[in-house]
Amino acid sequence: MRVRIDTAGLDCLLIRLFEQIDESNMDWLLSADLRLREVFGSQLIDLLPSYTSLLLHYDLHYLDDDAARALAMQALHDLQPQPTAAGREHLLPVWYDPQVGPDLAAVARDCGLNIAALISAHSQREYRVFALGFAPGFAYLGLLEQRLAMPRLATPRRRVPAGSVAIAERQTAIYPCASPGGWQLLGRMPLRLFNPSSGSLLQPGDRVRLVPVDHAEFLRLGGDDRPLEALP
């Protein structure tokens, strides 16, 4: 690991720890997150960990660029990964079905699997939350097995329903709200991922397991089973 600190705005630093995405990065990034919060204290406005880096927003009333860099280097001196700092574990129910996952059959075919084998492969893995972005509560999860990696759609859909479980490249995600989207859809999750008053259920470093459920359980949990073409 080699720390690189770049100016990312008048009152922001981009602190890069790695050059490539890897699940093992998160223990280092979460450790850095804790150290930076401790050292900056009330002079920290916001801190956003991501795949390989952290974006640090500091209070310009108290720090300039040089002072902020010095504090960041102080915080990261002798940094060690802390697996104990890992976030919460979430078990999220998913109904995998072509009715709500219109790309399920095509993805299975392209992976050389039947639908049941694809569902098993996609749901048996524990995923780390790498970052939040695109929309409030949209968590980028990874990494998928290489054999499940799929490109984004050539033409994004104008509307993807909330709860849609999708894959793109070696990542998977659950759309927290209805929005346009170009990821390939495998199923739907009935629980709410974002609340304006409490924020995102999933946070960077959290661990996520997707638990296949049948249609009846999906409906019991409040899921909407209408296909894309039937949604407003």
Q: What is the pLDDT of residues 189-209, one digit of tens each?
A: 999 999 988 899 999 989 999
Question: What is the average per-residue pLDDT within 59-74?
Answer: 96
CA distance 185 to 107: 9
Contact between 128 and 205 (Cβ < 8 Å): yes
Show the tokens assigned to 11: 């009152």
DSSP reduced 3-state for 212? strand
- The proportion of the chain whose per-residue pLDDT surpasses 70, expressed as a percent, equals 98
Separation CA 188–CA 124 (nearest Å): 16
Q: Sign of torsion, CA 139 142 145 149?
A: positive
pLDDT value at residue 112: 96
Q: pLDDT tens, 74-118? A: 999 999 987 655 679 999 999 999 999 999 999 999 999 999 999
Choice between 121 and 84, residue whose per-residue pLDDT is larger: 121
**pLDDT given for residue 82 in this prediction:** 74
Taking CA atoms, 94 is separated from 110, 114, 186, 187, 216, in Å, by 21, 18, 9, 6, 12
Please say if the pLDDT value at position 1 is more than 90.
no
pLDDT band of residue 71 (cuts 50, 70, 90) is very high
The residues facing 54 across adjacent strands are 15, 49
- Is the separation of the CB atoms in 119 and 191 below 8 Å? no
- The pLDDT, as a whole number, for residue 23 is 85
Say yes or no: do domains 4-85 and 89-230 share a fold.
Answer: no
Type of residue at 67: A
Global confidence as pTM: 0.87
Quick check: 228 pLDDT over 90?
no
Please provide the DSSP assignment of 58-102 as one string.
E-TTT--HHHHHHHHHHHHTT----GGG---EEEEEEEE-TTT-T
CATH topology of domain 89-230: Cyclophilin (2.40.100)
Is pLDDT of 145 > 90? yes
* pLDDT surpasses 70 at 64: yes
Q: What is the mean pLDDT of the chain?
A: 94
Nearest to 194 by CA among 231, 143, 141, 139: 139
45 CB contacts (<8 Å, ≥6 apart)? 11, 57, 58, 59
Both tokens of 66, joined, read 């040089």
* Residue 112: Cβ within 10 Å count: 9
Could you say which of 3.90.550.10, 3.30.565.10, 3.40.50.2000, 3.30.1360.40 is the CATH number of the domain covering 4-85? 3.30.1360.40
pLDDT at 188 over 60: yes
Q: What is the pLDDT of residue 85?
A: 57
Domain locations in the chain as residue ranges: 4-85, 89-230
Banded model confidence at residue 24, pLDDT cuts 50, 70, 90: confident
